[in-house]
Chain A
Amino acid sequence: MQKMKNEGLWLLILLVLSIIAFKIVFYKESFLVVVRVTWSILWLFVLPGFTVMYYWHDKLEFAERIVAGVALSTALVAIPSYYLGLLGLNIKYHGILLPLAIIIIGIVILFWCKKE
C-alpha cells in the first residue's frame, strides 16, 4: 500500500513536470490547453497500462511500467474501442469509459491476486 502511495505521488510529480515540459515546447499555446492535453495523455496513455502493469510491480520498476504501459494502454483502449463502435456505442464515450474500465479491472485483478 505504501508503494502505491509513493508511486501515486511520483505520478503527480510526473504530471506537473510534463505540464512544464509541454508548456516550454508549445510556448505559444495557452496554459489551459497544455494542462488539458497533458492530463489527457496521463488518463488515456499512462494510467490504464500502468495500472495493469502493477501486477508485475515487484519485477518491473516504476518508469519502465509507465513507458511499456503506454503501448499497453494504446492497444487496450483502441482495440476494444473498435469493437464497441461496431456494436453501436458511439466513440465519443470511449475516452472516459475505456480507460476507467481498464483501471478498475487492473485494480480488481491486483487485489484478487493479493488475496490469493
Chain B
Amino acid sequence: MDAKLDFEKIFLFLVFFLLLWLGLGPLWDHRIKHDFPYGYMASDTFQHQIRAESIKDAGNYRQEAFYIIKGFHDVIGYYPPLIYHIGIIFSYLAGLEVYDGAYFVIFLLAIFAVLLMYYVIKHFHQITAILAMPLTILIFTFPIYIAFTWGHWPAIAAGLFVIASIWAIQRFELNKAYILLAVFFSGVIYTHTSEAIFVFLFIFVYLLLKFVFKKLEWTEVKHFLFAGILAFIISLYSLLIFIRVWGVAQPYKFSSYPVWEGTPGFYFSNFGIILQIIILIGMILALFVIAKKNINAAIIAGFVLFALGFTNYFGFSFRAFQLRFFWPLYLAVFFGLVFYKLGYELSKYTGKKLNTVAAIIVSILLFSAIIYFHYKPLVSEGLMNQYHWNAFKWIEANTPKDAKIYFFYGDIYGQDALLRNVKREHYLINYQEYFESIRNQSIRRSYKMKIPGDSGAGIPYKKGAFSYGFHSLEEPQEFFYGYRDICSFDYYVFDKIGSQQSMPIIQFNNIIKNIYLRNIWMKEVYSNEVTSIVRNEKPRENCLAA
C-alpha cells in the first residue's frame, strides 16, 4: 500500500467518524441504548419503528399487525420490507431494542451512501471526489435532517441503493458486474419502490447520451438487459404487491405539487447563495466535460437526479421532494469540480500540482466552513418520554390481546402512530368534538373518534392468488371516523399533564376520569406522573350515570 492510498483511507475514515458524530451523536445524547424511542420527532418515525417491532414479534412479515391497520386481522404485509428486516436483524445481533437498532441502521446506511458517493465521483476524478465530500454533510442539517427524525427512512435507505446502482454501472467493465446492478436495483425496489423509477430514468438518459456521443456498445446494452431481467425476477413478489396493492389504492394522478404540505421540504435555495453559486459553476464545468465526450455516470447522475428533484411540478408529487434529501450527495461532484478547477488553475502559477494530501487539507477546511455555517446540533429526546412509554408498555404487558383502548386528549397523541406501541386495538377521541364539549362544559356518551392506523395502501387483504380486497374501500367511513359510545371500551388512557395551552383540556380529562371512577366497575389500574389508565369491567354499561 503506498502512502497516497493510506492518506485516502485515513480521510475516508475521518469522514465516517465526522458523519457519525454530527448525525447521531447529539441527537442520541451520545448513547446507543435508550430506555424509550429516542429522537423520534413525528408519527411516521413511529410508524416504521412499530412495524419493525411487529415483524420481530411475529418472526416474519406475512401480515400487518392488527394494531397497525385499524384492528383488521387479515391484512398482508404490504410495505417494502428491506429496512424492517435489516433493522430487526441488526437489533438482535447488537443486543439493542428495535427502536434503537432500526433507527441506527438508517443513519449507518446514509453514512455509507456518502462514502460510496466518494467512489462514484472518484471513478470520474479522485481529487474532485475528495473535494466533493464536504457538501455531503448537509444531509445532517435542516431541513434534510427531518428525513431521519420525521421518518422518511425508506427514502434514505433507498438513496444508498440508488448510489450503489450508479456505482455498479460505472463498473460494467468488471466481469458479471450486471449482477451487482441487479442486486442494487432490487434493493431500491425492496426499500422504496418509487425510487426505482428515478434510477430507471437515470439509466435511460445515460444510455441516450452514450448513444448520441457514439459511445454505446452492444455489450453494455446487453448487461443492462441482463441486470433488468435479474432484478425483475428477484423483485417479482414485491413488484406484484406494488402494482396490485399500491397501484390500486393510490393510482397515479398527474399533479403539480410546488409545496410539500406539512413537511419542510428541501429547496435549491436551502443550499444558501454561496453554495448555490458554486454548484451552478460546477454544473457549467461539468457541461464542458460532457462536451469532451466524457460520459461519466457521476456527472450524468448529478444532472439527472437534480432535474428529477423538480418533478414535483410535473407529476411526481412529494416523491420528488424525497429524492432531494440526497441532493447534497448527487450534486457533490459539481461542488468538487469547482475546487479542483481552482486548484488546477492555481497550480499553473505555483508550479505545484494539487495532490491527494493538499486536496484533503482543502477538503477539511471546506468541511469546517460548511459545518460552521450550516450545522446546528439537534438535541432532543423527541416526542416520546419515559412516562408515556412505561404506560404503553404496561398496556402491552397487562391487558388481554383483544382489549380495546381509548385515548382521551394528550399533547403527543396527535402523532398517532406512537399509540400503536400499546399493541392493542386503539381509538382516539376526535379533538374538535372534545374541545367543543369543553367549551359547552358538557359530557356526552357518544363522541366522534378515529381508529388510528396506516391506511395508505387501502388496508389490503388477500382475495385470491393475485387479487386483493381493500378494507378501507369496503368499510363505511363511519367505521373509521364515526361516533362511538365512550362507555364501550375496556381501558381508557388519560393524560394528567400537558403544555400550558392544553391545561384546560387536561383538566377536562380529569373530570371525566373522576366520573368514571365513581362506578364500582371502573378502576384506575395504572398511574404515573403523566398518565393514568382506567379499566372498565363492564363495557357498554352507562359509565356517566354515577
B16 in the interface (beta carbon within 8 A): yes
How far is it, in angstroms, between the C-alpha of A60 and the C-alpha of B180 when the chains are bound?
13
Residue of A nearest to B25 (CB): A25
Complex contact B12–A91 (CB within 8 A):
no
Residue of A nearest to B189 (CB): A79
Complex contact B82–A79 (CB within 8 A):
yes
How far is it, in angstroms, between the C-alpha of A102 and the C-alpha of B8 when the chains are bound?
29
| Nearest CB of B to A32, in Å | 9
- Contacts A33-B32, A71-B164 given; does A94 touch B95 at CB 8 Å: no
Total A-B Cβ pairs within 8 A = 165
| Nearest CB of B to A6, in Å | 9
Complex contact B85–A78 (CB within 8 A):
yes
B59 in the interface (beta carbon within 8 A): yes
A108 in the interface (beta carbon within 8 A): no
Complex contact A79–B115 (CB within 8 A):
no
How far is it, in angstroms, between the C-alpha of A14 and the C-alpha of B175 when the chains are bound?
28
A73-116 residues at the B interface, CB under 8 angstroms: 74-79, 81-83, 85-86, 88, 90-92, 94-96, 98
**Interchain CB contact (< 8 A) of B60 among A22, A71, A85:** A85
A54-76 residues at the B interface, CB under 8 angstroms: 55-56, 59-61, 63-64, 67-68, 70-72, 74-76
B1-52 residues at the A interface, CB under 8 angstroms: 5, 8-9, 12-13, 16-17, 20-21, 24-25, 28-33
How far is it, in angstroms, between the C-alpha of A79 and the C-alpha of B118 when the chains are bound?
26
**Interchain CB contact (< 8 A) of A75 among B55, B104, B161:** B161
B116 in the interface (beta carbon within 8 A): yes
Chain B residues, Cβ within 8 Å of A85:
55, 59-62, 85
How far is it, in angstroms, between the C-alpha of A21 and the C-alpha of B275 when the chains are bound?
30
- Contacts A17-B13, A29-B32, A41-B108 given; does A78 touch B190 at CB 8 Å: yes
Chain B residues, Cβ within 8 Å of A76:
183
How far is it, in angstroms, between the C-alpha of A22 and the C-alpha of B32 when the chains are bound?
9
| Nearest CB of A to B187, in Å | 4
Interface band, chain A: 35 or more
**Interchain CB contact (< 8 A) of B30 among A21, A26, A40, A81:** A26
Chain A residues, Cβ within 8 Å of B24:
25
| Nearest CB of B to A25, in Å | 5
A32-57 residues at the B interface, CB under 8 angstroms: 33-34, 36-37, 40-41, 43-45, 55-56
| Nearest CB of B to A14, in Å | 8
Complex contact B112–A71 (CB within 8 A):
yes
| Nearest CB of A to B360, in Å | 14
Complex contact B160–A74 (CB within 8 A):
yes
Chain A residues, Cβ within 8 Å of B82:
74-75, 78-79, 82
- Contacts A68-B164, A74-B109 given; does A94 touch B85 at CB 8 Å: yes
**Interchain CB contact (< 8 A) of A71 among B5, B12, B32, B161:** B161
B171 in the interface (beta carbon within 8 A): yes
How far is it, in angstroms, between the C-alpha of A81 and the C-alpha of B9 when the chains are bound?
32
| Nearest CB of A to B378, in Å | 15
* 7 smallest beta-carbon distances between A and B, as pairs: A85-B60, A90-B59, A75-B187, A71-B164, A40-B93, A40-B94, A78-B86
Can you identify 25 A-B contacts, CB atoms within 8 angstroms?
Answer: A21-B20, A22-B32, A25-B20, A26-B28, A26-B32, A28-B29, A29-B32, A34-B32, A36-B95, A59-B173, A64-B119, A67-B119, A68-B167, A68-B180, A70-B160, A72-B164, A72-B180, A72-B183, A74-B82, A75-B190, A79-B234, A82-B85, A82-B190, A91-B59, A92-B92
Can you add 6 more A-B contacts, CB < 8 Å, to A26-B28, A60-B171, A68-B119?
Answer: A37-B94, A64-B119, A78-B83, A82-B190, A83-B237, A91-B60
